[in-house]
Amino acid sequence: MTTVLWLQAAGCGGCTMSLLCAENPGVFETLESAGIDLLWHPAVSQATGAEVRTLLAEIEGGARALDILCVEGSIATGPKGSGRYNMLGGTGRPMLEWVRRLAPLAGHVMAVGSCAAFGGVTSAGGNPSGAVGLQFDGALPGGALPQGFRSRMGLPVINVAGCPTHPDWVTETLMLIASGTLDAAALDDFARPRFYTDHLVHHACPKNEFYEYKASAERLSEIGCMMEHLGCVGTQAVGDCNIRPWNGQGSCTRAGYPCIACTEPEFEEPRHAFTETPKIAGIPVGLPSDMPKAWFMALASLSKAATPRRVGVNATSDRIAVPPVPRRPGD
């Protein structure tokens, strides 16, 4: 069995809530079938109090092996580097201390969600708690653990980033670790699993026809592309959100809300409203990944000129106003 200890640090618990939405099969059936033993999770385990303290002592003392340490939520380092803004209840010790003590003992360390990976929403604003990720502080290497940290199996912290994470991203990463098939080549430059970060949120987005013609929504609830006016950065953000949607059918863009790049470090402070597209001389500042600005502007101009009436009208409607015209035999 592959043993997992799950700690919840400074965060909202939303990644656990998302994980519990795993279905066909559910999360517990998935873990059991993969030979994964969840030693303790503060939100779903029955054990509490002395039982948990005993478990932690056994792991810390080496009496019980720990294969995977999962941490959800950022690590509060305040006040003054003590970490005492976030204590692990009943232990009298800060979460910061527990993470630094248990991480070197674990075969692998997994940051579940963008808070644990990079600091996330918890680190936004003035960050009075000194919240950081496990091995990153925003986009900068080095967080609660040093930049050079490596787990017992030789990998850095595996950052399953997202706000919240897709349940499959978590279970698939756990299963890859349990099967011994996750190595350094399977991680990107921010140590995120490439099975989902080799894709863009733009891939399989239902608004792609509108994007191709640059037929843009002007207000939320309209069904056109949200890149030009409403802040969507799905053409730049990594994630297979529209390839394997939540609950079999949902994603931000499918629900009519712009992608805010929640898998990226520092997404929580874009320096503009999430539903606004910053522009210079009418040109969006954030352009699709790997596309030169001049090429995009030339393509956008041609696309807008060639936009079919159906696409242009529907883009600023909250439902299909002009349906496709069926092709007739011989056309």
Mean pLDDT, residues 72-94 taken together: 97
Over residues 110-132, the pLDDT tens digits come to: 999 999 999 999 999 999 999 99
Is the model's pLDDT at 178 over the cut of 80? Answer: yes
Is the model's pLDDT at 58 over the cut of 80? Answer: yes
Q: How confident is the model at residue 257 (pLDDT cuts 50, 70, 90)?
A: very high
* Domain spans, the chain: 2-195, 199-320
DSSP H/E element including 75: strand 75-76
* Least confident stretch, 2-16, 22-36, 131-145: 22-36
CATH no. for 199-320: 4.10.480.10
Q: pTM of the predicted model, to two decimals?
A: 0.93
CATH no. for 2-195: 3.40.50.700
pLDDT mean across residues, the chain: 94
Is the Cα dihedral 244, 249, 250, 256 positive or negative? positive
Pair 290, 238: CB distance under 8 Å? no
**How far is the C-alpha of 178 from the C-alpha of 297, rounded, in Å?**
47
Note the pLDDT of residue 234: 95
The secondary structure of 107-158 as a DSSP string is: SEEEEESHHHHH-GGGG-TT-TT-EE-SSEETTEE-SSS-TT---TTS---E
Is the model's pLDDT at 295 over the cut of 70? Answer: no
Note the pLDDT of residue 254: 94
Of 297 and 128, the structure prediction assigns the larger pLDDT to 128
Cis peptide bond upstream of 164, omega within 30 = yes
Q: What are phi and psi of 216, to 5 degrees?
A: -105, 140
Mean pLDDT, residues 252-273 taken together: 95
Is the model's pLDDT at 331 over the cut of 70? Answer: no
